[in-house]
Amino acid sequence: MSKVFVIDTNKNPLNPIHPAQARQLLRNGKAAIFRQFPFTIILKKAHPDTPVEPLRIKIDPGSKITGIAIVNDASGEVVFAAEIKHRGFAIHESLSSRKQLRRSRRNRKTRYRQPPLHEWFRKGNKQPCPKQRRDGQQCGGRVPQATATADPEGWLAPSLQSRIDNIKTWVERLHKVAPIEAISQELVRFDMQLIRHPNIQGKEYQQGTLFGYETREYLLEKWNRQCAYCGIKDVPLQIEHIHCRAKGGSDSITNLTLSCEKCNQKKGTKDLRDFLKKDSTRLEKILKQAKQPLADAAAVNATRFALLEILKATNLPVETGSGGLTKFNRTQQALLKLHWIDAACVGKSTPILNIKEVRPLLITANGHGTRQMCRTDKYGFPNRHCSRTKFHFGFQTGDIVKAVVTNGKKIGQYVGRIATRATGSFNISTKNGLVQGISHKYCKHIHKKDGYSYAF
């Protein structure tokens, strides 16, 4: 079971303790709850000086989910684990929706107006807008809204920046409640075998301990861990050449896929179009997917060095490891393929891990709401009112509360994230579903809104 974080009266982190010890301290009045997520207690009296064991936070960045683990390097114990679910793709969809709505409104109201200059240049056009006059104004006498300027160096799209911000936030939070002395990050492109032996070359490099791990892991993600020809899962998969090498096929990543042993032998040296002539849909899908880049990998690759700089700014020693090394460490210890376990296996510092009874905290990034003046339908027309007031009866949407209803039709105890109303009748999203119409009088704060929701 994950340990409980402890801080002293001066809010300095101490050694995490077993949940049973934390319950005893709370029961005896020697400590109080400092934070619910992650669960942290604060001592009420000065703690005698005891040696604090240094911990290492390990991060496995992902485009959708990032794994985090806090590991004791000396004992190999996983003290804390979490999985952060990012909202990068949701941000991308929201920005695209907003752009479409604005463009539609602009076309309805000013149908002859040219796009703003910054949109014109962002499309890759180096020459001035053809409808722009020499005096800097557009046809119609309107002054351009923006000038064409390049994006500042190091700029990332909001959907990518949010992933970095999520990880940065949680590294800072955990650093405040745990004695973290080092950081490990999976930096996909780094090849630990080449770093350890700078002069390695030829056959020795091709057939080293990490041979095949990088390519196989990439293909597993790209082809959804299933046979490309029959779709079977949970069986040993082999790396297959779409255009066989016997007929001139290359080892390029765009010519590789995954296949079960049966399909691999059945296909042999046949041309893919002949092999799948009776299944044109699957043939078209394979040819299309083979040339597509891995979107998730692209998102991680675009942010990995920016995240590395953020972690170095903490002034803690940062270790990096490749995805192939992470998988090598995990398979050597026969561990399951989970995000938080991958995080615990990052880097060459990985000891023999003790993950007994560890329950990861599931964190979902929800953001801090929206500044829309009203809600709209799919065509962009207003259809719902949006309250101007953020707080109602001391609560705001996103707070995690505990409601004990003592009378009425909804008698019971409910814990979850609330959606507030000016009437004082709130909705609570619990793990069993949505409960509507709970009065604010029955609600008690557990965790104030911080842009995330939590579960185990």
DSSP class per residue in 380-398: S-EEEE--S-S-BTTB-TT
pLDDT recorded at residue 61: 92
pLDDT score for 170: 96
Buried b vs exposed e over 52-63: b needs ≥16 C-beta within 10 Å? ebebbbbbbbbb
Domain stop point among 293, 316, 334? 293
| Final residue before a domain boundary, out of 11, 37, 52 | 52
| Residue 374 within a domain | no
Round to whole Å and give the CA distance between 247 and 240.
Answer: 14
pLDDT, position 248: 84
Question: DSSP letters of 432-447?
Answer: TEEEEEEEGGGEEEEE
Domain of residue 424, residue span: 387-455
Question: Does the reported pTM lie above 0.75?
Answer: no
Low-confidence residues in the chain, pLDDT < 50: 126, 130-150, 189-196, 202-203, 205-206, 209-210
367 domain residue, yes or no = no
In the three-class reduction of DSSP (H, G, I as helix; E, B as strand; rest coil), residue 8 is classed as: coil
Residue 119, in any domain of the structure:
no
Q: Specify the CATH number for the domain of residue 212.
A: 1.10.30
> Looking at 293, 311, 328, which one is the last position of a domain?
293
Alpha-carbon gap, residue 19 to 5, rounded angstroms: 9
The CA distance from 159 to 90, in Å, is 8
Q: At what angle do helices 158-177 and 295-312 cross, to 10 degrees?
A: 40
Predicted pLDDT at 322: 83
Q: Within a 10 A sphere around the Cβ of 292, how many other Cβ atoms?
A: 9
Residue 373 falls inside a structural domain: no
Q: Which two tokens stand for residue 251?
A: 């080892």
In this prediction, residue 259 carries a pLDDT of 92
- Asked whether residue 361 is assigned to any structural domain, the reply reads no
Looking at the structure of the chain, the number of domains it has is 3
Q: What is the DSSP string of 75-114?
A: T-BEEEEEEEE--HHHHHHHHHHHHHHHHHHHHHH-TTPP
The domain that holds 441 is classified in CATH as: 2.30.30
Query: What pLDDT score does 197 carry?
Result: 53
Assess if residue 26 is contained within a domain. Answer: yes
